[in-house]
Amino acid sequence: MLQVLRDERLQLAIEAAAQNDYIQTDEKNDEVYKGIVQRHEARATKIVYDMRSTISDFLLRYSDCLWFHNAADALTGTV
């Protein structure tokens, strides 16, 4: 998980989004920029965790489906 968050392309995307938001703000100082970067990092982290959860859920459901069909065939003897 941490490897994904440290990925160079993800970091570049966060920086680009933060710079875009920073250009649109009225205040121009380092603290504002750092806050924008932190907000985008938190958003990226949430998205990655949500993706992981979705993929895990899908794989669990898929393996359950396969197990159910194989077990049903084995129990009925129609393998």
Domain residues of the chain, as ranges? Answer: 2-76
pLDDT band at 2 (very low <50, low <70, confident <90, very high): low
Determine the pLDDT at residue 74. Answer: 77
User: Residue 50 contacts by C-beta under 8 Å, 6 or more apart in sequence?
Assistant: none
Buried b (16+ CB within 10 A) or exposed e, 20-44: ebbeeeeeeeeeebebbbeebbeeb
Determine the pLDDT at residue 16. Answer: 95
- Residue type for 52, please? R
Q: What is the pTM of this model?
A: 0.69
- Residue type for 24, please? Q
11-36: pLDDT as tens digits? 999 999 999 999 998 888 999 999 99
Q: What percent of the chain has pLDDT over 90?
A: 42
